[in-house]
A and B are shown apart, each in its own frame.
Chain A
Amino acid sequence: MSDPLKDPDDDWWNSPVNRRESIWLGLAGAWSVGIFAWMAGFTQFGDQNPIGTTYDVDPDRYQERVAEYKEAAEETEDGLVPPGDDVYIGALRFNWDGLPVVLEAGHEYDIHLGAYDVQHGFSVRPEENLNKQINLQVFPGSEWVIPMTFDEPGTYHVVCNEFCGQGHRTMHGRFTVVEG
């Protein structure tokens, strides 16, 4: 009954299990349940969840909406200052329309993400600390609204991390976060 190349004995289901294997089953099972519970729970008590609202939107219509937003925003040397709490960003080959933008630290903004042509990757990190970074997928046909609150002032760089064509690596944008 111990050979993986032969039929097991008739009574293989009822053969006793080694004590340490049983303990391991318990540990592995408890760990699996534990990490599941932590992930599900974090959506309730955590501050970092890729959860927002998605709307279906025609890519051309989304482009118009970003244009209207840009019209209403104030232009400064460091970028656009949004007129309200909403920030519109449109991804296109090979640019982030709507960026750079100037935001206030500690203030919650609704970041609208959409694309005009193909899929892109919205990848953001502060200039001074590269290991604080987030990465979200951006589609044409979807407008994804994700609330964000930048705690610390500084420059945050945005690159595209989904292959969108040969100029993909040049796709760069910026958030400038100032004291609120």
Chain B
Amino acid sequence: MSAIASLFRNDYDSDGFRTCSVTGLDVHRSVENHVKLFGLTAVIALAFGGIFAFTVAMTRWEFIGFLDPGSYYTHLSLHAWNLLIFWMVFMEIAILYVGGPMVLGRTLPLRRLATAGWVIMALGAVGVNASILLTEAPNEAPLLTAYVPLPVSPWFYGTAIVFLLGTTIAALPFFATIWLETRGTRRTLPLVAFGAFITGIIAVEAILGGIAAFAYAFAWRIDLIASVDPGIYRQLYWIIGHGSQQINLLAMITVWYFLTHVVGGAVVVSEKISRTAFVFYLFFINLGAAHHLLVDPGVSAGWRIWNTSYAFYGAAFASMIHAFAIPAGIEAGRRRRGQGGGLFGWLTSAPWGNPVFAATVFSIILFGFLGGITGVVMGQMQVNMTWHNTFAAVGHFHATVVLGTTLAFMGLVFFVIKTMFRRDFVSETLAAAVPYAYAGAMSIVTLMMMYAGILYGVPRRTAEVVRNIPGSEFSFAAAIPIFMIFGLFAVVAIASGALFILVSVGSLLFGDRLPGGDDGGLLPEGGLHADGGQPIHAVELRGTFTLCLVFLAVFIAIYVLNWYLVTQLWAIGA
């Protein structure tokens, strides 16, 4: 116990504050300890869900064929809920506390509420896991979606609602901070706090949708109402089903701005443009969730085009703005200090051995190229016919939430270990290897998922179809080579994930304590703030511009290729 208690100790002054040796922020004990509490819980969920990544991947890789179908769906549900929801949402509450009171140098208001929120969230998370594990016929495993009228345990819906209520309570201290900070003044929040604030609003929207969807299904499962409409449930469900992933996206982008600054020396190239992009998200991104209903009966073409295009492209445009602004921030910051000339010297001379920097930059690149492009392409009504519920859709969201969000959050966990837990890594080499091994292997895994889905039509959510569809002579055997590559690299990716857990937990337990004032080697060359240099708008951002042109070219190529596949189909629809 004393080892755990020592994790929550730091040298604070008589008011409970200390100055962070990396960010220079005034950090209060109440904020820091809650960030640690939520962050540690998130890592436990990551480790638990990661176990099921192994069993699920080794089942879909039918060469191994690890689980029978019954256990497969149980494991798939546990994998999804622990990684897509519990790992991410516990991290996101920690990010709200960093983005709010920590960045603003305040104490955490409503502390008891924060702790109560954590307790309720933890109870909900344990309850959801238990309800999945204890599922008995005629109930089925819920997967992530628990689509009605498939019979799913009412305990599942009930405990999921408890988790959502806990999350809402845990977010209140953040909103209170913003309210206290801004009432009666005309001041503008720092960009990271502003990003966290928009994240929080989107989270509230998503949570309300989730409570509505699960309460509707719960009422039906306990016989309060006689029947449910699958179409209405789907509309409600996807407010949280995709909304929760939009929280991940916004939290991730906020973390990108934060970490590229503190470990890469990045600056904000235009407050106006970056903030406007966040406001675009506020208005548009949750409507984009309608792209899950693109091949549903009962929704008109006009409804689909409005919600997924007008709304969706408002959000896609915002993402393309950040795609320029964030690398441009690194380029401008480094060029102003004279660190690296030429087209890409600012990038090649960057601190690539620092796992926080490497994880952040890989997250930016891989989210954009693999996750973002595929998301927009599959969000087109006609292309969606070829992606919907295939393994390619699974590839898309692994590219966004694993290569994007998880990788960024891994960088953040490493950052927190050094700056808040004040521990050195047990091995700098192993820590530095994590983002390279994980990003590299997962990239290949997600690409194979996409190929299996788009080029071979392999459906998602099946225990086996590639070697054998029972009762049929048909199979997807042509995709076997793709699955061999998928399986091998899934093993490497999961081993890299395990290495991340080992380095993190090992550093917390056995890492040397960093002396006061030591930056742990995190600070960028030349320190956090470089004085002088040209004004930012005059810095040559030609490296970033070139990278963005490459991005647009890839985007166009993938778009054209997908549309080519669509037009090769037989004639469908009006």
Contacts and interface: CB of A to CB of B under 8 A. Distances in A.
Given A5-B258, A50-B381, A172 B269 contact: no
A3 B389 CA distance: 42
Given A20-B545, A118-B149, A139 B298 contact: yes
Interface in A12-44: 12-13, 15-21, 23-25, 27-29, 31-33, 35-36, 38-40, 42-43
A39 B273 contact: no
A139 B570 contact: no
Contacts of B570: 132, 148-152
B295 interface: yes
Interface in B359-387: 376, 380-382, 384-387
A5 B190 contact: yes
Contacts of B48: none
A161 B455 contact: no
Contact of A49 (B73, B298, B572): B572
A104 interface: no
B457 A4 contact: no
Interface string B539-574: 101101100100010011001000101111111111
A159 interface: yes
Contact of A165 (B150, B305, B388, B389): B150
Contacts of B69: 166-169
Interface in B461-478: 461-465, 469-472, 474, 476, 478
- With a 10 A CB-CB cut-off, give which of A20, A52, A148, A167 has the most chain B CB atoms: A20
10 contacts: A8-B188, A18-B332, A33-B313, A49-B381, A50-B295, A125-B457, A133-B390, A144-B298, A148-B571, A168-B461
B531 to A, nearest CB: 11
Contacts of A141: 229-231
Given A15-B272, A43-B381, 18 more contacts: A7-B188, A15-B270, A17-B270, A35-B559, A46-B567, A119-B230, A127-B474, A133-B390, A135-B386, A137-B295, A141-B230, A146-B572, A159-B469, A161-B388, A161-B462, A166-B140, A168-B69, A169-B463
By secondary structure, the A interface counts as mixed
Contacts of B460: 161
B552 to A, nearest CB: 6
Given A18-B269, A49-B381, A170-B470, A39 B537 contact: no
B536 interface: yes
A43 B305 contact: yes
Interface in A29-86: 29, 31-33, 35-36, 38-40, 42-43, 46-52, 54
A23 to B, nearest CB: 7
A123 B457 contact: yes
B298 A168 contact: no
B310 interface: yes
Contacts of B262: 5
A157 B569 contact: no
Contacts of A179: none
A21 B573 contact: no
Interface of B: 23, 25, 69-70, 73, 103, 140, 143, 147, 149-150, 187-192, 229-231, 257-258, 261-262, 266-273, 294-298, 301, 305, 309-310, 313-314, 316-317, 320-321, 324-325, 328, 332-333, 376, 380-382, 384-390, 454-457, 459-465, 469-472, 474, 476, 478-479, 529, 535-539, 541-542, 544-545, 548, 552, 555-556, 559, 563, 565-574
Nearest to B230: A139
B192 A21 contact: no
Interface residues of A, number: 87
Interface of A: 1-8, 12-13, 15-21, 23-25, 27-29, 31-33, 35-36, 38-40, 42-43, 46-52, 54, 108, 113, 117-119, 121, 123, 125, 127, 130-144, 146-152, 157, 159-170, 172, 174
Contact of B272 (A12, A43, A47, A167): A12
Nearest to A173: B472
Given A135-B386, A162-B389, A170-B469, A48 B295 contact: no
B465 A2 contact: no
B522 to A, nearest CB: 14
A9 B267 CA distance: 14
- With a 10 A CB-CB cut-off, give which of B381, B478, B542, B552 has the most chain A CB atoms: B381
Contacts of B295: 50, 135-137
Nearest to A16: B537
B273 A166 contact: no
Contact of A12 (B188, B332, B476, B541): B188
B188 A135 contact: no
A15 to B, nearest CB: 7
A99 to B, nearest CB: 12
A38 B387 CA distance: 18
B317 A28 contact: yes
Contact of A36 (B143, B313, B573): B313
A5 B572 contact: no
B271 A8 contact: yes
A3 B529 CA distance: 8
Given A8-B188, A48-B567, A48-B569, A136 B469 contact: no
A127 B456 CA distance: 11
A50 B384 contact: yes
Contact of B70 (A12, A159, A160, A166): A166
Given A35-B380, A42-B382, A51 B230 contact: no
Contact of B465 (A7, A16, A134, A169): A169
Contact of A25 (B321, B542, B555): B321
Nearest to A13: B272
Nearest to B186: A10
B148 to A, nearest CB: 8
